[in-house]
Each structure stands twice: as C-alpha cells, then as structure tokens.
Structure 1
Amino acid sequence: MPMTTKRQAAVSQALERLAPLMPLEDALAIKALVARPHMRGLPAQRAVWLATITHIRHTHSDYDALLDEGYDRDAARFFVLDEVNAVLRRWQATRFLDADEDGVGADG
C-alpha cells in the first residue's frame, strides 16, 4: 500500500525543514524508509527524523563496520555520533543527534 499524497507531501516538507541541503539521492532513500509499513503510523516529522538517522548511520558512517567487528548497537551508535552529526551539518540540518537520544530508526 503506497503512501497517500497527503503523507508524501508531509514527508517532503519535513525533509526540507530538517535538512534543506540533503542530496536528492539521500532524500529518495529516506522517503523509501519512511514508506515502510512500521513507519506509516508515525507523524511525518518523527518518521523522517528516524529514517534520516538510520540512513546516515548505514550509508554515511562506520556503523555497519563496527557491528561487523562485534560492537553492540549502543556502542556502535556512540562511536558514529560525530559522523552522523557531521552529515547533518553538511545538509544544514535544523536538528542534531544527541548522545542520550535513542535515535532508533527504520531498521536500527
């Protein structure tokens, strides 16, 4: 079941507000994460935030490599926090990941 037009518009607006300089390729990947069934019940702004953090972790950081080396999720998240926030800064984000924030996203 695809997202509704209203949902798509809300997601696009939330992405634009969150990170106006996000590259199109990343925005499309994040929209795909937001469209997953378990994300559809969340408000667009929350779903976009969680999907953005998930995408950055898995695509723009050493998160997966740390997991492969045997680090648990919490440790891996701790070690990539600065990488995640560096990407958000490049995208001129209006929000950044806090060390105390869960930040669990679309798939971890």
Structure 2
Amino acid sequence: MSTNRQRAIAKALTALLPLAPYADAEKIRTDAGARHLKTLPPTVAVWLATVAHVRHAHTDYEALLEDDYDRDSARFFVIDQINAALTRWRATRLLDPDDPDAG
C-alpha cells in the first residue's frame, strides 16, 4: 500500500524526470523517501535526491574526490555532467552553474 507521501514523491519524480531510466528513477524514489528528507516537500526531496544520485552515479564526482579535490570544487566541476544527464532524461529543471549553492 502506498502512502500519500509515496504517491506525492512518485508524481514529483514523473513530473521532473519524464524519461529517467527505471533503475535511476527507482533509486531516486527510494532516496527521496529517506528519513533525512522527510520534513521537506516531496518536490524538494525528489530534486535533492535526483541531484545527489546523478552526481554520484553519472559523473566524475567520486574520481575527483579520490584525486583530492574538495567537495565544493568537485561539485563545481561536475555541474555540466549533471545537467547533461538531466537533459537526456528531459528534466524540467537543471542546475544553475552561476548559483553558488548549485551541485
């Protein structure tokens, strides 16, 4: 049985990422339902889970960290890769590279 929050997350995920591959969408759905995101609106939880998932699974972020880049620098260098994945999935939102909090 699905809760109202789970339904809201599913709806937000479909609206944000209409062409996300199933495996990615399921991981994002699970992450958006995590306890630490529970107090956020479903749309915000889905966005944060999406950016984190894409950063870790579809960019060079982890390799940059292993090469001793600090977290903020590594995030800066993968914004274009994140946006490329979001664009492939026809996302209705992208990261703004000029936003100091982007990534």
* Superposition misfits of 4+ residues, deviation over 6 angstroms: none
Q: Paired residue for 2:40?
A: 42
Alignment-mate amino acid for residue 26 of structure 2: L
Q: Name the SS of the counterpart of 1:70 in structure 2.
A: coil
CA offsets 1:38-88 (integer angstroms, 9 cap, x no match): 111100000000000000000000001101111011110111010000000
For the 8 Å contact 1:11–1:45, the answer to whether it is kept is: yes
Q: Which runs of 5+ in 1 are unaligned?
A: none
CA distance in 1, matches of 2:102, 2:37: 14
What do you get for the CA RMSD once the two structures are aligned? Answer: 1.3
Alignment of 1:53-72 (within 5 A): 53-72=51-70
CA distance in 2, matches of 1:95, 1:35: 20
For the 8 Å contact 1:53–1:103, the answer to whether it is kept is: no
Residues 103 and 32 of structure 1, relative CA distance in 2, 3 Å threshold: farther
Count how many residue pairs are aligned between Structure 1 and Structure 2: 101
Post-superposition shift, 1:101? Answer: 5.0
Greater relative contact order, per chain length (Cα 8 Å cut-off, separation 6+) = 1
Q: Which runs of 5+ in 2 are unaligned?
A: none
Residues 42 and 9 of structure 1, relative CA distance in 2, 3 Å threshold: same
- TM-score under structure 2 length normalisation: 0.93
Post-superposition shift, 1:12? Answer: 0.5
Post-superposition shift, 1:102? Answer: 2.2
Q: Name the SS of the counterpart of 1:32 in structure 2.
A: helix
27-36 vs 81-90, which moves further: 27-36
CA distance in 1, matches of 2:35, 2:102: 18
Pair 1:32-2:30 in alignment: yes
- TM-score under structure 1 length normalisation: 0.88
